[in-house]
């Protein structure tokens, strides 16, 4: 599995994707996101323990859209996940997205496909996220868990970060600290302002307090995740989300192919010359872009 993921990371994904095709559709995909410091890695580890105790096999894909330059997760995370390192029912993989737009959009879905075809019951995608990366997680996951913690910016900041809209489940971590109840109250108030989820039969994201370091309230989290999965199936939302995810993936791959074409046709020197003319104010960027597009046909 690890070697297959390396293949898809290194742009050799075509054959791998074809080989996976007959084995797809089993895994549940759960995204876990939140600002740095809310305890994503600890929560992921606690969730893995819960799911393993129930007999599910689990793959963890730690996506690091925020680390385009250094590439890869730091030591701390790996240590926190170490209790699961020797469990054959757990697979852990870090993935950097290398700072190009569409990085997560192209490589991560292929890694998901490999993990799904490999037969894992649950795939957890953990990602550092405020903003764009969260939106991308939403496109990847069936269910998105947004982690918050007291003292990590108030609910107004969470709202600014677009967090309210993307969550299927809120977990207020570090609930043994001062301010946890305030985070919950603020979230409830924000939810009441939004109102978008109040239609009958629609999903209103539950708010669960937890202490990930001690696994506290993780049974409640798993129960909420199961309720959301039932909702996804019942409402047809699962098909809608997976279709949307596939559409985004196809578009990202197609645009990646086009981007490579630009480079093949013009060479990096040609592209640099075009960019230089735009930077020098000699050429409108739209005119330069039109030249690129015209060169495709």
Q: Segment contacting its own copies (CB under 8 A): 29-37, 175-183, 210-218, 227-235?
A: 29-37
Q: Could you say which residues in the range 169-228 bind its own copies, by CB under 8 A? A: none
Among 53, 85, 223, 272, binds its own copies (CB under 8 A): 272
φ/ψ of residue 267, rounded to 5 = 75, 160
Q: Extract the runs of DSSP E, i.e. beta strands, from 151-259.
A: 169-172, 207-209
Minimum CB separation of residue 88 from its own copies in Å reads 26
Cβ-based nearer residue to its own copies, 181 or 251: 251
Three-class secondary structure of residue 106 per DSSP: helix
Q: Which is nearer to its own copies, 150 or 215 (CB)?
A: 150
What is the nearest approach in angstroms of its own copies to the Cβ of residue 199? 17
CA dihedral 65, 71, 76, 79 (to 10 degrees): 110
Q: Are 58 and 152 in contact (CB under 8 A)?
A: no
- Residues numbered 126 to 155 that lie near its own copies (CB under 8 A) are 128-135, 151-154
Q: Which is nearer to its own copies, 10 or 69 (CB)?
A: 69
Q: How many CB atoms lie within 10 A of CB 159?
A: 16
b/e string for 4-22 if b means 16 or more Cβ within 10 A? bbebbbeeebeebbeebee
Is residue 245 within the footprint of its own copies (CB under 8 A)? yes
The single residue among 1, 36, 82, 237 that binds its own copies, judged by CB under 8 A, is: 36
Query: For residues 205 and 192, what is the distance between their CA atoms, to the nearest angstrom?
Result: 12
Is 122 a binding residue for its own copies by CB under 8 A? The answer is: no
Q: Between 224 and 253, whose beta carbon lies closer to its own copies?
A: 253
**Is residue 24 part of the contact set for its own copies (CB under 8 A)?**
yes
Query: How many residues bind its own copies, per CB under 8 A?
Result: 86
Site for its own copies in 81-100 (CB under 8 A): 99
Structure tokens at 95: 């993935």
Instruction: Return all residues near 39 (Cβ < 8 A) that are at least 6 apart.
Output: 147, 149, 173, 174, 212, 213
């Amino acid at each position: 599995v690890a070697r297959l993921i390396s293949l898809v990371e290194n742009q050799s994904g075509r054959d791998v994707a074809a080989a996976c095709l007959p084995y797809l559709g089993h895994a549940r995909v759960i995204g876990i996101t939140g600002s740095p410091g809310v305890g994503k890695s600890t929560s992921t580890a606690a969730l893995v323990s819960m799911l393993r105790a129930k007999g599910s096999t689990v793959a963890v894909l730690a996506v690091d859209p925020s680390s385009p330059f250094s590439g890869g997760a730091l030591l701390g995370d790996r240590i926190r996940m170490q209790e699961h390192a020797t469990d054959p029912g757990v697979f852990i993989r870090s993935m950097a997205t290398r700072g190009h737009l569409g990085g997560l959009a192209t490589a991560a879905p292929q890694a998901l496909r490999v993990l799904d075809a490999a037969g894992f019951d649950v795939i957890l995608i953990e990602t550092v996220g405020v903003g764009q990366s969260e939106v991308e997680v939403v496109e990847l996951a069936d269910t998105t868990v947004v982690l918050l913690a007291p003292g990590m910016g108030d609910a107004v900041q969470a709202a600014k970060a677009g967090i309210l809209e993307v969550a299927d489940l809120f977990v207020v971590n570090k609930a043994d600290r001062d301010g946890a109840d305030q985070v919950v109250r603020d979230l409830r108030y924000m939810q009441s302002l939004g109102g978008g989820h109040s239609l009958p039969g629609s999903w209103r994201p539950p708010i669960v307090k937890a202490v990930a370091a001690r696994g506290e309230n993780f049974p409640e989290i798993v129960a909420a995740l199961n309720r959301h999965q039932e909702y996804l199936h019942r409402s047809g939302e699962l098909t809608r989300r997976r279709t949307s995810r596939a559409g985004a993936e196809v578009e990202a791959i197609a645009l990646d192919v086009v981007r490579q074409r630009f480079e093949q046709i013009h060479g990096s020197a040609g592209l640099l010359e075009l960019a230089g003319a735009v930077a020098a104010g000699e050429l409108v960027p739209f005119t330069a872009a039109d030249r690129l597009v015209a060169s495709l046909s």
